[in-house]
Amino acid sequence: MDIRSLDLNELTEYIEGLGDKPFRARQIYRWLHVNLVSSYDEMRNIPLSLRKRLEAESPLYTPEIEDLQVSRIDGTRKYLFKLADGNMIESVLMKYKHGNSVCISSEVGCRMACTFCASAIGGLIRRLTPGEMLSEVYEIQKQIGERISNIVIMGTGEPLDNFSNVVKFIRMISDENGLNISQRNITLSTSGLVPEIYKLIDENLQITLALSLHATTQEERKKLMPVAGKYDICDAIKAMGYYAEKTGRRVTFEYSMIHGENDSDEDAKRLSDLVGNIMCLVNLIPVNPVRERSFVRPDHTHISSFQKKLENYGINVTIRRELGRDIDGACGQLRRRHMKGQE
């Protein structure tokens, strides 16, 4: 059992089932989710007999740092974590003036098969538990000795394809009994699983929802993102609009700019027509070069021109700050390079 995946109520029930008192659960929860310990031996106020039983029944696994890349340009840190079963996942630490942000993975691999993403190469291996996602944040916070204040669920994997585990992770990372990171400082990025977007509304979370859009027509989006073959672009955007309306939270449309593919004047006009009536932000992303792909990013002048065109249509637009350009910055690249090195 992954004990880090148990919320406080579940942990209390588990500890009571072992014949111990409920207050022990709160103590253990604090050790796990506030003090961020890596072993039961560190839980100094827990009786030795209980620690030994927990170690036997619920071993406490901590991801190992298999590789770490640090950008000489901006200090961005990319971690390759080795899980208990030997699988690898990536997490990225990005430093901003407003605080430390961590981009976490939600799955080992991904089955969405987006053509511009290295994460999809090799397909989905398995989904992460809430405890494994929490550990990505915990290990980085311990490693740098500074508080993590923002989380982006935008690494390897489709978060809404791991719906229940991701929702539980969000509730636990924002729990006042744990790290207590505000849900308003959490962003979840989806490729557009329409039914799950509507399910997410029912969870009454206060997170920011981002849609990986990347095209302005159904035909072009299908070429980039196979998920569009199941969920029409208009249905995905309608679901995002409904999310914004029901939660009162501004949504984000992620738009990876690919030279000659989706960066024309016509694309700017179609994009404004698609999202113009929604409380939203469009985030332009210069596409990351991926060794196995042939996409080329537009130059900065062209991206700025595209931004101005959207602003003239009344759209709120940002250009994503490029961090970690001198390391394997794109999702899946460091894991992919490590896997190829083992072949």
CATH topology agreement for domains 3-57 and 64-342: no
More confident: 98 or 177: 177
Decide if pLDDT at 326 tops 80: no
Q: Helix %, strand %, coil % for the chain, to 5?
A: 40, 20, 40
As a whole number of angstroms, the distance between CA 317 and CA 319 comes to 7
Instruction: Tell me 227's DSSP state.
Output: G
296, 286, 290: which is closest to 333 by C-alpha? 290
**pLDDT by residue (tens digit) across 249-304?**
999 999 999 988 899 999 999 999 999 999 999 999 988 765 545 678 888 999 99
Task: Please report the pLDDT score of residue 293 as a whole number.
Answer: 54
Q: CB burial class (10 A; 0-12, 13-18, 19+) of residue 222? A: middle
The predicted-structure confidence for 193-221, as pLDDT tens digits, reads as follows: 999 999 999 999 999 999 999 999 999 99
Helix or strand run (H / E) with residue 4 = none
Strand order in the sheet with 99-104: 64-70, 77-82, 88-96, 99-104, 148-153, 186-190, 208-212, 251-257, 280-286, 317-319
- Measured N-to-C along each axis, helices 163-173 and 194-202 cross at an angle, to the nearest 10 degrees, of 40
Confidence check: pLDDT of 329 > 70: no
Predicted local distance difference test score (pLDDT) of residue 338: 56
Report domain extents, the chain. Answer: 3-57, 64-342
DSSP run (H or E) holding 3? none
Is 327 a residue whose pLDDT tops 80? no
103/324: higher pLDDT? 103
Q: What is residue 82's three-state secondary structure?
A: strand
> Distance between CA atoms of 158 and 119, rounded to whole angstroms?
10
Query: Poorest-confidence range of 133-142, 146-155, 194-203, 323-332?
Result: 323-332
What distance in Å separates the CA atoms of residue 61 and residue 302, rounded to the nearest whole number?
47
- Is residue 261 part of the annotated active site? The answer reads no
Rounded CA-CA distance 132/104 in Å is: 10
pLDDT, tens digit, for every residue of 80-91? 999 999 999 999
Average pLDDT, whole number, for the chain? Answer: 92
Q: Which of 280, 292, 331, 343 is catalytic?
A: 331
Residue 90 known to be catalytic: yes
pLDDT at residue 292, as a whole number: 45
CATH, domain 64-342, list 3.20.20.70, 3.40.720.10, 3.40.50.740, 3.90.1720.10: 3.20.20.70
Higher pLDDT, 187 or 96: 187
pLDDT at 30: 98
What secondary structure, in 3-state letters, does 141-207 show?
Answer: HHHHCCCEEEEEECCCCCHHHHHHHHHHHHHHHCCCCCCCCCHHHEEEEECCCHHHHHHHHHCCCCC
Indicate which residue of 66, 90, 234, 292 is catalytic: 90
Which residue, among 216, 208, 285, has the nearest Cα to 251 in the 3D structure? 208
pLDDT, average across residues 307-329: 85
Local confidence band at 121 (pLDDT 50, 70, 90 cut-offs):
confident
User: 3-57, which class in CATH?
Assistant: mainly alpha
Q: Tell me the pLDDT band of 120, cut-offs 50, 70 and 90.
A: low
